[in-house]
Structure 1
Amino acid sequence: MKWFVFALLILLEFAKADETDPSGKFLLYSDIQVANRTESLLRLRNVPIVRYKFKYDSLVDRYQLGIIGPDAQKYFAESIEVVPSKTFTSKDRSKAPTVVTNFPVVDKNVLFMHGLVALQELIFRYEALSAAIDSAETDASKRKDELLAIEKRITSGVSAQSKTKLEIAQKEAELALKQAQLDAQKAEEEMLLVQRELEHEKEMVEYEANLVRERMARQEELERLNNEQVLKMEKELAEKRELLARETNEALQKLRQTQSSELEQQKLEHEKEKIRVEIDAKAAQKRIQQEMELLKMRTQSKLDTERMITGIKTISAQVSRIVSEIFAKPKQVAIVTGIILGLIALYYVFKELFKLLRQYVQSRIGKPSLVRETSFTYSIVPHFIANYFSRPEELSSSRKMLEDAFSNIILSSEDKQRVVHLALATRNTKQSDAPFRHVLLHGSPGTGKTLIARRLAASSGMDYAIMSGGDVAPLGEDAVSQLHGLFQWAARSRKGLLVFIDEAEAFLAARTSVAGAGSGDGASSEVHIRNALNALLYQTGTPSHNFMLILATNRPQDLDVAVLDRIDVSIPITPPALPQRLELVKLYLNEHVVKVANQSQQSRSVLSKLFGSTRGVRYVTDDCLSEPVLHRIAAETEGFSGREIAKLFIAAQYAMFLAEKSTLTAEILLETVALKVEEHHIKRGNFAQLRTAEHAVDGKAPADASAPVNRKVKAKK
């Protein structure tokens, strides 16, 4: 049954699987009919299989075995498909591929399926022949059994007639047996013929399959080579085009540059010529003017000389006459000399008197030049009247008032508690007429030290005056008199004056650094600063009932030991923590962004509202005000001071102005925050390097500016 196994293998290898749904019903085909096996076998038997050469074959002089187009059109018309164009690779690789239009293509799948149908017909015929042979063999066996039975009856004594009939029956049985043998032999021959035909068909199918595979492989290889060649040619063509375009652009660029340089050179030459002509004309005109001026000056000089000679002669004659008259009377000479000396003495006396008067008036009603900002104004009301109308408040109401006064100052709970206690103590000190205590506020820049000083003065019922330590050095030798004038002016305040000195380390630094100063202008400036420091130490050497001194610095370790000795209370102001930063973010977002947007929307003109114009109107999206965004900003601004957070939202305001449709979104806000955080880290990194370098020069270890004052003073050698 080799032929049957082979047929099954061919069917399993080449038959296409039908796509069916889960229910087993066909989905892809319609009008399904049973194939006519006899017709397919007849077509395969009659179609000629020839050897031929193909005109567009990629191999030279190669013979192929198969069915040519006209025979396929005659016997298998459904296998022919005419394509609009067919590309064949040329035998010469250097030549372009050949394109044939309306080319008939033989579908080998159709021929293959006809071969399968014919093979199925041969299998059916082989099965029928096998059944006929089996039936003939069964009949012969039955007749042989009958013949043996007859022979047994003959041997048992049948008559001669029966023997004759037996012989006739035996001969007929032999003839039937011979006929069955002939039929069996004929069936075997037909079976061998069918088997040979099947083997031949198998060889043909295998050969055709091999040819198809080889042809497909060669076709794929040729198509691959053709595609590679086409791609290579296209790439070379694109490279050539790009190179040509580049060379053209370079040539055009060079030509433009050459023309531009020539034009610029011509313009330059023209300008040079124009300037040279103008210079020559101006020079000629100037020479003429100079000659005229020289002539005029010579004439005028001659006239002046003559006039001067005449005047000198007249004056000398008058002076000689007056001198002769004076010396003729010596008493008049003494009177004139006394009058001149008296006038000179009166000039210097009045100059000093006016200077003293100016200082007195300034100390009484004027503001010293060192003070940048103050709430103190001179009053002409006598002290006993002003004191009569000012009544001290109760302690409980004062505490509540102080807590309300410092409620909108965002500090940590510990720092706020210290500041409120200081304000309460200062208020009670003023009411009990006790001497004021001097305070040091130290911490990072922008943490609100100046605001705390203002609010402390207001809540304590005192006047305040704000000055900067950097303003002392430029005064030079006048700094001492200005400081004394400041404290004399402070003594005139009836409420008591809170003197706030920002950047106190600018002139209150340790005097050990001044002692080793060299000569020159730098040494002179250091001496003036040291004198100013001594003046402040003189004014604060004893407890005062007139003023309270508050020093603010971010470098407390640089202050002089004598200044630190004058300090009664030292309060560190730490950078805001996460809860305080969240409050600052909400405060400055509302102040610098939301209020500006609301004001721009409310200030729209009537025409803008009528025509729907949004020019100049700012918007803030709701996601900017969401709690997650605010908490994220507060978390990312770790290490920021209050001033830096305020500047961050000023930058967000400018980002809103520049944004599309003047709308600030959460994305733009977070981008601005990221930029400011990066700037903060860069500044802090540079500041740390600068501080390290300064302390390396001074021979000291770097200290934290926000640390409490705990400084050891080195003894002078």
Structure 2
Amino acid sequence: MQQIKHIRIREFDHGEDEFFNKFFSRRQLGIMAHELQPVMPTAVGVLPERRWTNPKGVTNQTKHVMLIRDTHLLFAALGAVQVLAKKADVWDEGLEKLFKDTAAIVAEQDDNRRKREELLEQLVRVVAKVEVMQFGFAKTEESVARMDGTITHYKELQDERHGLVLAGVDDLNNRSIQQDRSIAQFQDDFRSAVDREARADLVEKRKKSEADLEVQLVKRSIEKLRWEEERKTIERRGEEERKSDDHSTQKHHERIAFETAQKKAADLELLGQQEESNLRQQAQKHKDEKELLELRLQSDERRAELGLQEAVERAKIEEEGKIKAARENEDVNTRLMKAEQAEKRAQMLAAIEASARIASDWIATVFNSPTNLALLIGSIVACLGGIYLVREMAILLREQLNKRLGRPSLVRMTNRRGGMQEFGIAILRLLRLRPPRGAEFNDVVLHPKLKQQVMRLADATSSAKRRRMPLQHAMFYGPPGTGKTMVAQRFAEYSGLEYAIMSGGDVAPLEEQAVTELHKLFRWVHRSKRGVLLFIDEADAFLASRKNSGMSETMRNALTTMLYHTGTPSSQFMLVIATNRPHDLDSAILDRLDESVEFGLPDIDARKGMVQLYYDKYIAKPLKLPAVSSGSPMLRKPDQPNGLRRRLPGSPKPLQIPREEEVDEAAMATVASRIHGFSGREISKLFTSLQTHVLYSDTTHGRPVCTKSMLLEVVDQKVAEHGRSHEFQTSGYVYQHNEAHRAQHEAEGENGFSSKDGKLGGRH
């Protein structure tokens, strides 16, 4: 019954004519086999192969067709109906008995409740009467006690009056006044006693009312307890029913899982047997085809051998005949050859004479006539001008086509290449004239943890690209000049993607055209066959937070367009944004990003690697100076002072440099320690500045020279500039004129030597 309850019956239209006829409609009720299988596995079978013919007479074949066993469904439904019918009989008897028992229980509960209420009323009434009687008895005792006191006082007053009569006439008036006051006092006390009796009656009534109220509260609490007990009973009964249903559902799921496992095992066994049978049939078929093919090959080889032998014999006979004829007609052939050669020589000489005569006549005609000479010169100039004009028009046409059909205007740099360029690069890599794939990060100096994070992301991107999985978006953030753009380019080449670099500041000047250009950009990106890494430099320029009140409407529209194109993960492009101010980005853009990579300033080890790299790039290789040796000063040959090239004859004698002035690994370590806080771009500019000093030494000393003092002087100068740049940013710029110090510095640096230490390289 649980299985039948979970079966989904659908209404659908048949798409093929064989499934219906004139007695049935196209729209029918049915069950999908793949939906029935998890509910009732035994009712679904798998047919290995099924052939059927469509209305056009074409025979179609379908593998592994899932069929529903309708008889299984029919008998399952009949079994469920029988179970329900049997339960219905039991339910009728049980319901009738339950109704009778419930009526008896309800009557008994009503009778018990009525008896409890009467008993409680009697108890409350008795308690109230006892309390009232006790209160009245106490009041009566108080009244009797007050009356006894009053009588006693009255008797005392009578005795006093009698004493006054006996005492004398003089005190009679005073005594009479005192007696009158006592009588008034007695009257007041009597009235107050009467008032207290009246108030006692009111208090008694109030207490009686309070007793009635307490009785009602007791009844209410008793009723509340009764209803609480009934509610708990109902909840307990519902909890037991729910547990029973959960248990039955769990058992049903376990039974379905067991049946599914059995059916799956049976299907797997059947499929295994079918696959084995198919493999045996295919193996036998391949064996037969192989034997037939071998017989055909043997027959073709035999036929080819016979044809070859026949052709060889025929060619041999023909050659023997030609040789025999040539031997017999040797003298005739010799005379014919001599005559042909003489005739060809005469024709060639005549043609040369005629050509020379025509050329001389044409030259004479041109140079003898000023008009013809002017026409010749004009023709040559017009031809050259036409060639130049055609070349310029071709360049202009190419630029216009590239602008309209090529890369969008927002893309500043891309490595998208054509098929011929890719072929040329492959040839260069094959000839080892270009680094192979995977060597893109060999000349990049990064912190080990940063390089590990970048390589992990690059390998994951390459793997996702091969599997056509969605690519992740990333953010490169950190101080300027830390290599974010360079790493993005190498990242794209390493991952096998094309890169397209754009700047966030190029969007704002477009104004209303910004949205259109962004759409063009993403259409261009989706036309790529290899996938594109879209790198947005200075992304905070147009992807800033929309909470900023100064943001224009066009920039909001551009931001919305970017959010639209990056809202769904795509395997076609990867978005990488670079910024120095990640806190200014919009929250929706940050939500699109899957990875965030921080590019910090290089540490001491990274600075050592960058110093060595840029020294080789800007000093050693272009100026033909030797590289820094590892652990020792620069290696020199006997005829190569300071490691420079061999001196040519007639060239000036090279300048000898003291050993302590040679640039070695210790000097490089000193430079790396002094440039603390420098970015990669600042280190690169340091060595370009050193290059100018070395070239100046070429004009001063006759050849380029790089000394340790020169290197450290440039480093100190750049460190000072770095400090001044930070001061400019924090406190601004204030000019200070120091003429005496400037004159002394110029005097010390004259002729390229320092008057302080007397060493080479004071001021270049």
The normalised TM-score by structure 2 is 0.37
User: Relative CO higher for 1 or 2, CA cutoff 8 Å, sep ≥ 6?
Assistant: 1
The normalised TM-score by structure 1 is 0.39
Structure label with greater radius of gyration? 1
